[in-house]
Amino acid sequence: MQNKQISYLLIPLLACIWGSSFILMKRGMFAIDGQPVFTSAQVASIRIFLASVVFLPLLPKLLRNLQRKKDLLFFAIVGFGGNLIPAFLFTYAEQTLDSGIAGIMNSFTPIFTIIVGMLLFRTKINTQQIIGTIIGFAGITWLIFLSKPVHSGFELTPALAILFATLLYGLSLNTIKHKLANYTAIQVATGGFSMAFLPAFIGLFFYHTPRVFFNNPDALSSFGYISVLGLIGTAFAVIIFNLIIAQTTAVAASTVTYFIPIIAVAIGVWNGEHFIWQQLLSMLVIISGVLLVNIKRGKSNK
C-alpha cells in the first residue's frame, strides 16, 4: 500500500515533466524568433536516440534475465508503440498545432487505455472508473473547444496524428501491465528503448540531422532543448511511468495525461498566452474525473 501511495504522488511530478515536453518539442523545431531549426522527424530521432543511449548499457543484463523469448515482442510493442512512433507523430502535429493543444489532445490516452484493455486484454473496469474517465474526457473536450478561438487553429490531420499516438500509448500501457509485469520499471524501459535505438540512430542520418549543426546557428540551442526532452522528459519520465504502472493499474497510470493540459496551459500563460476563466473550470472537471478513476472502491483491476 505504501508503494502504491508513493506512485500516486509521482503522478503530478510526471505530469509536470511531460506537460513541459510539448514546449520543448516546439523549441527543438523552432528558434525563439520562430525560424525553423530541426525538422519534426529530426527532433523525434534525436529525442529517442538520446533516451535509448541511456538504457543501452543495461541491455546485456536484461537479455541474460529474459524470462521468455516472446517477451522481446512485447518489448518491441512498448518501444515502438509507447516511444518511437508517438515521438514522430507528436512532433509532426506540433509543426502546426499549438503545444498547449497537443498537450490537451494527449489526454485521450486513458480512453484508449480502457478500450484496448477491454478488447485485447480482458481488463475489468468498474463503473466508477468508467464514469471518472468520461468526466475527464468531457473536461478535455471542453478545453479543446475553448482553445479553438484562442490559438492559431485546430487542424484535423495533426489532431488525428495525436489521437493515433494516444491509441499506441494505450496499447503500450496495457502491454506493460499485462505482459511485462514480472520486469522492473528500469527493465521495461531498457527493453523498450533498446528496441527503438537502431531505428532512431538510422533516422539521424536518414533525415540529414548532422547538416543542421553545420548550417544553422541556432542548432546548439535547439539541441539543448531536445536533450532535456530526451533525457529528462523521455528516459527519466518513462522509468517513473513504468513504476506507476507496476504499483497501480494501467488506467490509473494513464490518468497522468489528464493533468498534462493543466501544466501545458500554465506554461502558455507564463509565456503570455491568453487564458479565460472557463479553462479553469474545465481543469477542475478534469481533476474530478482523475479522482474518480484513482479513488479505491471495491476490488481494483489488475
> H or E segment at 69?
none
> Is residue 217 domain-resident?
yes
pLDDT value of position 48: 98
What local confidence, expressed as pLDDT, does residue 300 receive? 45
CA angle 292, 242, 177 (to 5 degrees): 70
Residue 68 lies in a domain: yes
List of the chain residues with pLDDT < 50: 1, 149-154, 298-302
Nearest to 256 by CA among 213, 293, 210, 204: 293
Give one word for 272, left, alpha or beta, with left for phi > 0 and alpha for psi -120 to 50.
Answer: left
13 found inside a domain: yes
Number of separate domains in the chain: 1
Per the domain annotation, does 271 fall within a domain? yes
244 in a structural domain: yes
In a domain, 287, yes or no: yes
- Secondary structure class of 36 (helix, strand, coil): strand
Which residues is 30 bridged to in the sheet? 36
Q: pTM of the predicted model, to two decimals?
A: 0.85
Residues 6+ apart with CB under 8 A from 180: 71, 74, 75, 78, 188, 191
CA distance 85 to 42: 13
Domain that holds residue 270: 2-294
* Any domain includes 24: yes
* pLDDT (0 to 100) of residue 8: 74
Residue 146 counted as domain residue: yes
